[in-house]
Structure 1
Amino acid sequence: MEKGNDLFNINLIDTPGHIDFAVEVERSLRVLDSVVAVFCASSGVQPQTENVWFQAEKHGISKICFINKMDRVGADFFAVLNEIRTKLNAVPLALQIPIGSEDRFEGVIDLITQKALYWTDEYGETIQEKEIPEDYQAETGEYRLKLMETLAESDEMFFDVFFDTEKETTEEIIFDMIKKACQLGRLVPVLCGSAFKNKGVQPLLDAIVAYLPSPDQMPAVKAKDAGTGDTMELKRTEDETFSGLVFKVVIDKHMGKLAMLRIYSGSIQPGDTVQNVRTGESFRISRILQMQSDKTLPVEKGNAGDIVALTGIKDAKTGDSLSSPEHAVLLESITIPAPVIRVSIEPKTNADEKSFSLVLAKIQEEDPSLVVERDRQTGETLLSGLGELHLEVTLEKIRLNHGIEINQGKPKVSYREILTQTVRHREKLSKQNGGSGQFADITFEIGPREDHEPGMEFINQIKGGAVPGEFIPSVEKGFREAMEGGPIGGNPLESMKVVLLDGSAHSNDSHAQDFEVAARDGFRTIGKTCKPKLMEPVMQVEIQTIEEYTGVVTADINKRRGMITSIDEKSGRKIFIAEVPLASTFGYISDLRTLTSGRASISMKLSHYALVPDFMINTLIT
């Protein structure tokens, strides 16, 4: 975009807001410098919005808010402003207030320049600047003062300027203070409009340029030297050594595999050789593309700060670091959420069997939050994902993009298990097969972690070399692999603590593999005596409906083993917040529509894992 005589290049990534597509948000946030959070002026801050917001908080990136759909029935700019403050624990800084709302939404008042902006044509391409209408002057004065006071509270320097009657608070000083406070995360600028009619978009773009950081204003990139493991910093400049992160892989029908890359330092051109640090392989870049929605534009160079697509990278995966072969560096990877729901799938016709496997491999490359596995007992192919909608969209893609019709079973919950009691055990493996045999002997304690953190805590208390040091990692590996199948129903263990106490080895017959096997066998032998419990994912559910349906909604939540945590009222609608086990939410959307004659909306996000009541275990595990 152009502002004055300057030209600015803005890389935009649009992500879904639904919680089922959390991986899209996560990998986008990992490579972005800033966020524009879009809120509906009518429905405000929803549960999935909270989830995305706190994902952005985790990455520590600057944010601007845009309250959209000001022309929609029920639009309330000031109510959403308050929700940003209360629900997101943020400090919103209104830079504008709307002129009217719903079908009377005409424009906005810029609180900094103190001018009224009107869009004079149907699609908002022409902006007309006018004086503030008389009936809005009191409100403008009130919110202009709030803006100045909020800035003064966030910055001591501005406080001194604002309350010094001899100094003039110029627009330039205000712009600078907003930029500083925004980039430090002290407050969040808020604008509004109606994007569908292009009203308010131009001031939003100006705010992106004015307040959000450009790549060269960001701190140096933290990385690790792939050879030494030493922590290092890279300048975000073109003359620095090249580094970039693959944040998404797309399989295109015509161009093959496209690796979406954020370039953090240095630059690349077609013909350059770069290294995939994960695989250690080097490859030659054939083409560099700029993505524009569904179109691609070849570019001659990719510079620090750019987001581009590369062709010809065979083994690229989400989270891979690419760098100069002369100086391989490893960037922080991308966190992939664990799937919570799975469904058995198969092609409807035997003719599609071969291509079915290839397609499943492709969709896993594109979306690493999908897991495809084979059920050992039934031989079924299981597809796991982040929610019902996530799986539905994936299966629809397979049908539309690859022409494969699929039979699917009922969705199943991805349960987890946890141990509740610590038990001591000795496991001895001793076999002779003629020649070199197998021998491993370990004594260990196994049980729950005291710090309640996920994953395995492994403590080695072997003394005097009873088990040679080179075999200890194999013991740990064996227990880690054993965690993938718990003692109740073969579900992954949420957490576990293992203390290796004693053991012995044979000078000829002991091998690393033997100690892996002993650890796995020991876990299987002793697992059930550790009093394992089943854990299930629990969803936070928000339901909005009218007063008339309060009774049926409450009864339905209780029927689903849910627990209501709050009931509020907003714009004449009841808002229920509840925690409901995922197993009870299948088909919830259609059931709720039936119960409320279509006069309810529902949104869900994963809250936590909780213990399944003992009386429910046999019902849930089939």
Structure 2
Amino acid sequence: MKRLQQFRNIGIMAHVDAGKTTVTERMLYYTGFTHRLGNVDDGNTVMDSDPQEEKRGITISSAAITTYWDYAGERYQINIIDTPGHVDFAAEVERSLRVLDGAVAVFCAKSGVQPQSESVWRQANRYNIPRIVMINKMDRQGAEFMRVVNEIRTLLHANAVPVQLPIGAEDDHRGIVDLITMRALLWNSDDGKQFEETAIPAHLLPEAEKQRNHLLEELSLTNEELFELFTTNAAAITTKTIYKALRQATVSMQLVPVVCGAAYRNKGVQPLLNAVVQYLPSPVDITDVAGIDPSTEEQKVVRTDENAPFAGLAFKIITNDYTGKLALVRVYSGVLRQGDTVWNSRTGKKVRVSRLMRIMSDKYETVDQIGAGDIGALVGLKEVKTGDTLADPDNKVLLESIFFPEPMIGYSIEAKSSKESVKLGEALSQLLDEDPTLVVETNKETGQTILKGMGELHLEVVLEKLATEYEVEVNKGQPQIAYKEILTQSVLHKEIFKKQNGGPGSYAEIHFELSPREQNLPGLEFIDEIKGGAIPKEFIASVQKGFAAAMQSGVLAGYPVKSMRVRLFDGDIHENDSHAQDFELAAGMGFKAAALKAAPKMLEPVMQVDITTPDEYMGAITGDLNRRRGIIRGIEMKGNVQCIKAEVPLSGLFGYIITLRSLSSGRATVSLTFHDYQLVPDNVSVK
């Protein structure tokens, strides 16, 4: 159990360009994993090892690595996952957060809370991930520590409480004040390895005492022992008492500790590593993980215990030239050993694990076993996919899978030569294994292959991978948007499916009401109001299956129906000629007929567009947004720039980044995030 207490599975998450990869690189340097300082601008970081990441200077794929940190005489194993900040790769954040115990949220001291940092914060909320905040880039012009803390409180609704204060800002940033020990740490070497502990500078002492008092106030609301001391004898509060209370409050998500520094200038990273082991949870702090018994569909608890049966979740698939297909797995329970046989929840098959490896970014180290709480790579599981539960064949369990958003846009693609068609198919198969947000479909009318993804950059990266890694050149068509359809009126309908050929026949009769769902909730709401056995139970399930399949292709333009309600209230069978498949077919035919009468409408994806721009370009940018059918929801001044929030249909945003650069002489930045689906205006045609 002590070994588990010294594990930390953490993610580094942030908006693009907040410095999360640099923070991770410095963590690896100071833990001794690397012996040189890698920089994103130089394209020589350990975590961004993909050639496209080096080329673009952004994280595309979540990278995992294992390192070690010594603190208070103990050695801690830290499994770090550096996640992308660009919205097109948000699914990488999603799958990483699913298997992590804690996270470091990195914010730029100048830019503060940015659109994608809001998105990843919401993702972490969904998985109940305890966090600490690192306010980075305190050396940047315009850096303001307390402004960013207040933005985190107001915009993210988080109880962010500083445990450090910066000493100086911008070019004068020299170190930090530790509000728990009430000492100053000053960095005095270029590589950041050496720093000295001194008394707090006199001019900072009043603010330090004020913020320490605020920290104790917040902690006293979460801890009875500290509350008693704070209200009766505050001088008796020890640093040990504060650390204990702060850890409890962080793990229970009652409080978010805030630290600071300038990772690029090698300041503040060692205290951040201390904070990771001090405050973020170990696997032991998450004692029970919810699962389902696949045989009974009842809840089954998975214990974080090496002596329990094995259970783990495959959260990422990688195809490696050296090892072949790798499944990255978080082990929740038991121990997995080389040569063990495991059960795959999706296929229902038993598979043998030929090798186990520890992840070192783009390198791997063979190990004999991976125990509860750890993350490792499995070799030999050919059919495994992202989100599969792997478990002891004698103690099967199904763990919560991973949510992935639907792809927003697509391109029709084809190999440039017939010789490369087979090669293209094989390459796409590998890419789909690795990236669950990629979808490949075949257009029934044209026979074209449609590659769908989360955005233009996402698909651009995939096409470049096809060309460089798989050596397959493709022709791509015009962008295709993932429209949907919706029903706006209720319709009563009777459908009879009847087929007689002289021998055994087919017969199914259903009476139903087709209507919109309340609040247009997504998916199919199926209501069974059959009385007196007019349709047997086994056929009712087939009716539901038929409607669910039919709504994948709407009646206006063949796009999926986002939402609908079916109330089945009557029907009939033939004593000899009715079969389950007949009722499934009747549902499909009934949907096509009824949906045409239910006033179907088209829906289009609308994006939230967050633009940061100098004031002089405001007129040109807002005018351009209006031409794209954009609705401006707000404009506010932030520092010396204007921040525009708008909602714009995705159809009007192709190539927008290039246009924005032109309108602002390259000085404006934009973040695009999916907002929701909205009705296409009647005066707008969908091609």
- Report the TM-score, using the length of structure 2 for normalisation: 0.88
Q: CA deviation at 1:563?
A: 1.0
Q: CA deviation at 1:103?
A: 2.2
What's the secondary structure of 2:403's corresponding residue?
Answer: coil
User: Do structure 1's residue 358 and structure 2's residue 421 form an aligned pair?
Assistant: no
User: Do structure 1's residue 200 and structure 2's residue 262 form an aligned pair?
Assistant: no
Q: CA deviation at 1:439?
A: 1.2
User: Do structure 1's residue 295 and structure 2's residue 363 form an aligned pair?
Assistant: yes
Report 1:599-618 matches (<5 A): 599-616=667-684, 618=685
Q: CA deviation at 1:235?
A: 1.6
Q: CA deviation at 1:5?
A: 2.0
Q: Deviations over 1:154-186 (max 9, x none)?
A: 445423211213760111111111111111111
Matching residue within 405, 410, 415 for 1:337: 405
Report 1:528-607 matches (<5 A): 528-607=596-675
Which ranges in structure 1 are unaligned for 5 or more consecutive residues?
A: none
Q: Deviations over 1:244-302 (max 9, x none)?
A: 00111111122111011000000011011111122121122111111111110111110
Matching residue within 42, 61, 66 for 2:129: 61
Q: CA deviation at 1:128?
A: 1.5
Q: CA deviation at 1:525?
A: 1.4
2:682 counterpart letter in structure 1: D
Q: CA deviation at 1:353?
A: 0.9
Matched residues in 2 for 1:198 and 1:242: separation? 41
Q: 1:162 maps to which residue? A: 230
Matched residues in 2 for 1:572 and 1:153: separation? 38
What's the secondary structure of 1:537's corresponding residue?
Answer: strand
Q: 2:243 maps to which residue? A: 175
Percentage of identical aligned residues: 49
Q: Deviations over 1:416-468 (max 9, x none)?
A: 11101010111111112231112111111101012532110111111122222
Q: CA deviation at 1:75?
A: 1.9
Q: 2:286 maps to which residue? A: 218
Q: Deviations over 1:13-47 (max 9, x none)?
A: 11101221121111111111111111111211111
Q: CA deviation at 1:607?
A: 1.2
User: Do structure 1's residue 380 and structure 2's residue 448 form an aligned pair?
Assistant: yes
Matched residues in 2 for 1:25 and 1:18: separation? 10
Q: CA deviation at 1:478?
A: 0.6
1:15 counterpart letter in structure 2: T
Which ranges in structure 2 are unaligned for 5 or more consecutive residues?
A: 1-68
Closer, same or farther: CA 166–580 of 1 in aligned 2, 3 Å: closer
- Is the Cα contact below 8 Å between 2:631 and 2:647 reproduced in 1? yes
User: Do structure 1's residue 113 and structure 2's residue 181 form an aligned pair?
Assistant: yes
Give the CA RMSD over aligned residues. 1.3
1:453 counterpart letter in structure 2: L
Q: 1:74 maps to which residue? A: 142
1:394 counterpart letter in structure 2: V
Matching residue within 368, 373, 390 for 1:322: 390
Report 1:145-160 matches (<5 A): 145-160=213-228
Between 256-265 and 348-357, the greater mean CA deviation after superposition? 348-357
Matched residues in 1 for 2:455 and 2:145: separation? 32
Matching residue within 10, 16, 25 for 2:84: 16
Q: CA deviation at 1:350?
A: 2.4
1:308 counterpart letter in structure 2: G
Matched residues in 1 for 2:659 and 2:330: separation? 43
1:353 counterpart letter in structure 2: S
Closer, same or farther: CA 155–581 of 1 in aligned 2, 3 Å: farther
Q: 2:169 maps to which residue? A: 101
Matched residues in 2 for 1:524 and 1:230: separation? 37
Q: CA deviation at 1:238?
A: 0.3
Matched residues in 2 for 1:486 and 1:500: separation? 20
Closer, same or farther: CA 3–509 of 1 in aligned 2, 3 Å: same
Q: Deviations over 1:561-583 (max 9, x none)?
A: 11111111111111111111111
Q: CA deviation at 1:339?
A: 1.0
Q: 2:105 maps to which residue? A: 37
Matched residues in 1 for 2:257 and 2:235: separation? 24
Matched residues in 2 for 1:236 and 1:397: separation? 39
Q: 1:444 maps to which residue? A: 512
User: Do structure 1's residue 137 and structure 2's residue 190 form an aligned pair?
Assistant: no
Matched residues in 2 for 1:364 and 1:564: separation? 37
2:93 counterpart letter in structure 1: V
Q: CA deviation at 1:72?
A: 2.2
What's the secondary structure of 2:79's corresponding residue?
Answer: coil
Matching residue within 313, 328, 331 for 1:263: 331
User: Do structure 1's residue 430 and structure 2's residue 513 form an aligned pair?
Assistant: no
- Report the TM-score, using the length of structure 1 for normalisation: 0.97
Between 190-199 and 57-66, the greater mean CA deviation after superposition? 190-199
Q: CA deviation at 1:150?
A: 2.4
Closer, same or farther: CA 568–451 of 1 in aligned 2, 3 Å: closer
2:593 counterpart letter in structure 1: T
Q: 1:502 maps to which residue? A: 570
Q: 1:478 maps to which residue? A: 546
Q: CA deviation at 1:410?
A: 2.1
Q: 1:188 maps to which residue? A: 256
Q: CA deviation at 1:590?
A: 0.7
Matching residue within 398, 403, 414 for 2:482: 414
2:604 counterpart letter in structure 1: E
What's the secondary structure of 1:98's corresponding residue?
Answer: strand
- Is the Cα contact below 8 Å between 2:520 and 2:564 reproduced in 1? no
Between 587-596 and 501-510, the greater mean CA deviation after superposition? 501-510
1:357 counterpart letter in structure 2: G
Q: CA deviation at 1:152?
A: 2.7
What's the secondary structure of 2:267's corresponding residue?
Answer: coil
Matched residues in 2 for 1:338 and 1:452: separation? 17
Q: Deviations over 1:126-164 (max 9, x none)?
A: 222112122222222222222222223444542321121
Matched residues in 1 for 2:310 and 2:446: separation? 48
What's the secondary structure of 1:410's corresponding residue?
Answer: strand
Closer, same or farther: CA 289–603 of 1 in aligned 2, 3 Å: same
What's the secondary structure of 2:351's corresponding residue?
Answer: strand
Matched residues in 1 for 2:131 and 2:281: separation? 10
What's the secondary structure of 1:159's corresponding residue?
Answer: helix
